[in-house]
């Protein structure tokens, strides 16, 4: 991720986009006027998903060079080629080849995975996507990049109702789920809410409701007393119910979650006193979620311990946890690289840049983590064969 930049050197959005942001801000302001300060999770929900105006709902370009950020499948084929090796192994173990991708972005991962799997590909590739605009983008990407496979793809409004067997894929989806923010103060824990300052939006505090207080106490336990006053962080009290909804009908199979995050003991380190919220605008990483609502992405790092716990409560085993670099090596990245020797030099150089971006610790290699939550699987998964980090959860 790029370094944080100061406000002064940020490119200004064009007037047309500022007007879109103003309309969304107007709706948020109206809610604050009617209901009082909004919990941050509700602000984040509106900023990202308000119909027609939210970051993921409006028709802006988000992904790639002309957008705000680049995800692993957009760098090239390597990420999807490695994942395809894991998917092929899982299809063999399960005797089923269905895939459900959640939050498919611009459709790059779907297109590249389908191309990599080729004729041995899934019987069905379903996409559960909440943005109507992105569904359209996904269709266009699939038609352009994977025309031979597009007929196998179906879009869902809700998770499948009927029992099914196969694999759930979710790359950079958990970080886009709205989170609540809390803060330690003189009077104990407080909820961080969003208020209208008259010159934009800003933070204010409110009482922490019971359900959030118990979620924070559960997550932090004795570590709470070690946190300095003014420590702010995030928690997603709805992760378990969301996971339950998307995995409920998965009778046998595995859900692979790839995202930036930490095990809990690193998530709530005392020195991480401003939390993990991060916003992206034109390839700059920023820490102000109130700037240009609807025009910048807002996300929070994932607490992978919370994900494993939520899975356990739903009868899903944590079948693997590692970082992205080791996952990709476990999935055969070395073999893919070995074949690069036959490529023209320019293509080899491009590939080496892609591999570095995906695997170097300072790029995506360690910041991104991979977790498999499985139901009814007994065999180990190759993606986790190089490094098992489950003991750190």
Ligand X SMILES: C[S@@+](CC[C@H](N)C(=O)[O-])C[C@H]1O[C@@H](n2cnc3c(N)ncnc32)[C@H](O)[C@@H]1O
Q: Rule CB under 6 A: which residues touch ligand X?
A: 56, 71, 73, 102-105, 108-109, 128-131, 134, 171-173, 176-177
How far CA 277 is from CA of 79, 115, 133, 183, in Å, comes to 25, 35, 25, 13
Measured between alpha carbons, how far is 32 from 90 in angstroms, rounded to an integer? 48
For the bound state, the minimum distance from the C-beta of residue 253 to ligand X, rounded and expressed in Å, comes to: 18
Smallest CA-to-CA distance from 86 within 74, 76, 99 is with: 99
Residue closer to ligand X (CB basis): 90 or 173:
173
Q: Vertex 312, ends 306 and 314: CA angle to 5°?
A: 110
Contacts 24+ apart (CB under 8 A), 48-51: 48/176, 48/178, 48/297, 48/298, 49/130, 49/131, 50/24, 50/294
CB of 392 to ligand X, least distance (A): 24
User: 226: Cβ–Cβ under 8 A, 6 or more apart, which residues?
Assistant: 270
Q: Minimal distance in Å, beta carbon 279 to ligand X?
A: 12
CB of 224 to ligand X, least distance (A): 29
Q: Residue 98 or 131: which CB sits closer to ligand X?
A: 131
Nearest to ligand X of 136, 204 (CB atom) = 136
Closest CA to 239 of 292, 311, 299: 311
CB of residue 40 vs ligand X: minimum separation in angstroms? 16
Rounded to a whole number of angstroms, the CA Rg of the chain reads: 21
User: In angstroms, rounded to a whole number, what is the distance separating the alpha carbons of residues 319 and 247?
Assistant: 15
For residues 112, 171, 136, 44, the Cα torsion angle rounded to the nearest 10 degrees is -160
Whose Cβ is closer to ligand X: residue 71's or residue 93's? 71
**CB of residue 170 to ligand X, shortest distance in Å:** 7
Q: Are 125 and 114 in contact (CB under 8 A)?
A: yes
Write phi, then psi, for 351 (nearest 5 degrees): -65, -40
Q: Which CB sits closer to ligand X, 37 or 383?
A: 383
CB of 89 to ligand X, least distance (A): 21
Residue 44 CB, shortest distance to ligand X, in Å, is 11
Cα(343)–Cα(326) distance, rounded to whole angstroms? 24
Give the separation between CA 182 and CA 41, rounded to whole angstroms: 11
Pairing of strands 201-207, 188-196: antiparallel
Containing 82, the helix (H) or strand (E) segment is: helix 78-94
In the bound state with ligand X, the residue whose beta carbon lies nearer, of 278 and 326, is: 278
Q: Report the sign of the C-alpha dihedral through residues 37, 41, 43, 45, in that order.
A: negative
Residue 50: CB minimum distance to ligand X, A: 13
Taking the complex as a whole, the smallest distance from the CB of residue 144 to ligand X amounts, in Å, to: 15
């Amino acid at each position: 991720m790029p370094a944080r930049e100061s406000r002064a050197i940020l490119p200004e959005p064009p007037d047309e986009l500022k007007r879109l942001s103003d309309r969304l801000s107007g709706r948020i302001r109206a809610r604050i006027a009617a209901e009082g300060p909004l919990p941050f999770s509700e602000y984040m929900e509106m900023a990202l998903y308000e119909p027609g105006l939210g970051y993921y709902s409006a028709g802006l370009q988000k992904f790639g060079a002309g957008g705000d950020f680049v995800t692993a499948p957009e760098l090239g084929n390597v990420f999807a080629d490695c994942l395809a090796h894991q998917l092929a192994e899982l299809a063999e173990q399960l005797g089923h080849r269905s895939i459900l991708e959640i939050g498919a972005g611009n459709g790059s991962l779907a297109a590249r995975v389908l191309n990599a799997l080729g004729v041995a590909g899934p019987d069905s590739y379903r996409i559960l996507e909440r943005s109507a605009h992105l569904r359209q983008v996904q269709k266009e990407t699939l038609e352009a990049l994977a025309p031979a496979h597009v007929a196998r793809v179906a879009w869902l409004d809700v998770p499948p109702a009927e029992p099914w067997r196969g694999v759930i894929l979710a790359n950079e989806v958990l970080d886009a789920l709205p989170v609540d923010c809390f803060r330690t103060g003189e009077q104990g824990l407080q909820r961080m809410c969003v208020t209208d300052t008259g010159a934009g939006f800003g933070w204010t505090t409110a009482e922490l409701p019971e359900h959030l207080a118990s979620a924070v106490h559960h997550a932090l336990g004795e570590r709470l007393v070690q946190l300095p006053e003014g420590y702010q962080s995030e928690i997603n009290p709805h992760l378990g119910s969301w996971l339950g909804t998307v995995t409920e009908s998965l009778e046998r199979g595995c859900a692979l979650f790839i995202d930036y995050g930490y095990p809990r003991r690193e998530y709530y380190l005392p020195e991480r006193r401003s939390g993990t919220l991060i916003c992206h605008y034109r390839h700059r990483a920023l820490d102000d979620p109130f700037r240009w609502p609807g025009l910048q992405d807002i996300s929070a790092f994932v607490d992978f311990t919370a994900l494993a716990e939520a899975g356990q409560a739903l009868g899903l085993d944590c079948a693997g946890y590692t970082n992205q670099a080791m996952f990709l090596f476990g999935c055969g990245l070395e073999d893919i690289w070995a074949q690069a020797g036959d490529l023209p030099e320019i293509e080899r150089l491009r590939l080496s840049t892609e591999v570095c971006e995906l695997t170097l610790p300072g790029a995506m290699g360690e910041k991104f983590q991979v977790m498999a939550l499985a139901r009814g699987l007994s065999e180990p998964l190759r993606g986790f064969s190089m490094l098992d980090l489950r003991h750190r959860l």
